[in-house]
């Protein structure tokens, strides 16, 4: 009889512990919000499933609304957003890259949206992935406008190798369409941040190599064209007469000149290259200029004064397709108040870039690119895969 009482007490004790554990777990995670709080689409559905509460990874329905109209989300200062967007537009139209990357740095780090999205990785992973898609697409709105403005300005200045830009652009349409369809709602913010860093770091290292004496071998044509262009700027001569001129058309070979120096490319290879670059850049939520730049400087051998405009045209095509794909197939939402403010800043920066680029030496344009690539790459790689940045950011 005594033995049965002991078994009964032990069983009762275990049952109480289990019930307490379940109750504690329920309280710790918080009950679901239960409704979409007036937000539509996948974002609203994900919010309804997220735990209610005031802690990290929870939604407080009574909190002030921030990014995308989410209660408790960071509320971006419009002045900071505007100034950062001016920088985004300027850097993209100056070096032909880093617009999307700098837009990503702004959205993820400067505005605090990255840490907020990452906070839902355990409590509401679906919401975290939806926000990751929203951030990826937000970057591309800025780059899309910047590339459009840059394309017109560089075309007018005859510093855009438009046959090459079109070949890359047509290829980019396919990559920009497929990747959002294949990856929408499937990428965690930590993974996105880590791969973002790796891609940027690798390209930065490659361009760093190109600035060395060994890397400069075989770049005589680009160097000669850059020197001729820089000389004309110093002498204040009419640079329009020596701008891009198409000299040969062919299915497998197109040639053009810039300041008396001949360049050429295979349009089929450029088409395939544009498709691959757009696929990678669409996954990362950036314009792809950071990949077009090394392609144009290394494989085609163009000077940086031509690279920026050519990259802008290729990026424009991929951005239009990628944004449309995100909107139609992933359900990514747009914070129109934030994007509208940023687009004004991007427009101003993109108008300034082509006008100041010609006064910066070709080698310094590459060095600016390299420094930004290495710093940003290390920061996001370490933060995404190791939880903390190895450099201040």
Domain ranges of the chain: 78-386
Query: What percent of the chain lies above the pLDDT cut of 70?
Result: 89
pLDDT at position 310: 93
Residue 45: the pLDDT is 93
CA distance 147 to 309: 8
Tokens of 161: 């190798």
User: If you search the block for the tokens 């617009």, which residue do you land on?
Assistant: 99
Per-residue model confidence (pLDDT) at position 28: 42
The CA–CA distances, whole Å, from 189 to 119, 147, 252, 273, 298 equal 9, 26, 41, 27, 32
Coil, strand or helix at 254: strand
Distance CA 139, CA 10 (A): 59
Q: Which residues of the chain have pLDDT under 70?
A: 1-30, 215-220, 236-240, 393
CA dihedral (377, 380, 384, 385) positive or negative: positive
| Per-residue model confidence (pLDDT) at position 186 | 81
């Amino acid at each position: 009889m005594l033995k049965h009482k002991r078994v009964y007490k032990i069983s009762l004790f275990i049952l109480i512990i289990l019930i307490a554990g379940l109750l504690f777990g329920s309280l710790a995670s918080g009950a679901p919000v239960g409704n979409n709080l007036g937000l539509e689409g996948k974002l609203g559905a994900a919010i309804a499933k997220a735990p209610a509460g005031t802690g990290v990874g929870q939604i407080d329905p009574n909190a002030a609304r921030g990014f995308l109209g989410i209660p408790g989300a960071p509320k971006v200062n419009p002045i900071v957003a505007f100034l950062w967007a001016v920088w985004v537009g300027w850097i993209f139209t100056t070096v032909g890259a880093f617009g999307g990357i700098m837009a990503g740095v702004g959205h993820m780090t400067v505005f605090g949206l990255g840490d907020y999205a990452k906070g839902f990785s355990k409590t509401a992973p679906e919401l975290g992935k939806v926000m990751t898609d929203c951030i990826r697409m937000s970057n591309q709105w800025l780059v899309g406008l910047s590339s459009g403005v840059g394309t017109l300005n560089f075309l007018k200045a005859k510093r855009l190798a438009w046959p090459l830009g079109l070949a890359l652009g047509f290829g980019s349409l396919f990559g920009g369409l497929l990747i959002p369809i294949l990856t929408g709602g499937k990428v965690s913010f930590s993974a996105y941040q880590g791969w973002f860093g790796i891609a940027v770091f690798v390209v930065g290292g490659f361009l760093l190599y190109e600035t060395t004496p060994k890397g400069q071998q075989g770049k005589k044509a680009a160097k000669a064209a850059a020197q001729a262009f820089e000389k004309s700027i110093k002498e204040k001569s009419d640079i329009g007469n020596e701008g891009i001129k198409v000299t040969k058309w062919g299915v497998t070979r197109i040639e053009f000149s810039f300041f008396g120096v001949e360049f050429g490319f295979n349009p089929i290879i450029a088409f395939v290259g544009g498709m691959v670059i757009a696929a990678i850049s669409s996954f990362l939520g950036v314009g792809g200029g950071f990949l077009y730049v090394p392609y144009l400087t290394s494989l085609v051998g163009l000077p940086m004064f031509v690279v920026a405009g050519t990259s802008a045209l290729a990026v424009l095509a991929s951005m239009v397709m990628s944004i449309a794909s995100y909107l139609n197939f992933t359900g990514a939402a747009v914070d129109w108040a934030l994007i509208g403010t940023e687009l004004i800043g991007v427009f101003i920066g993109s108008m300034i870039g082509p006008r100041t680029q010609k006064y910066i030496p070709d080698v310094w344009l590459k060095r600016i690119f390299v420094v930004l690539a290495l710093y940003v790459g290390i920061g996001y790689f370490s933060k995404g895969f190791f939880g903390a940045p190895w450099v201040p950011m």
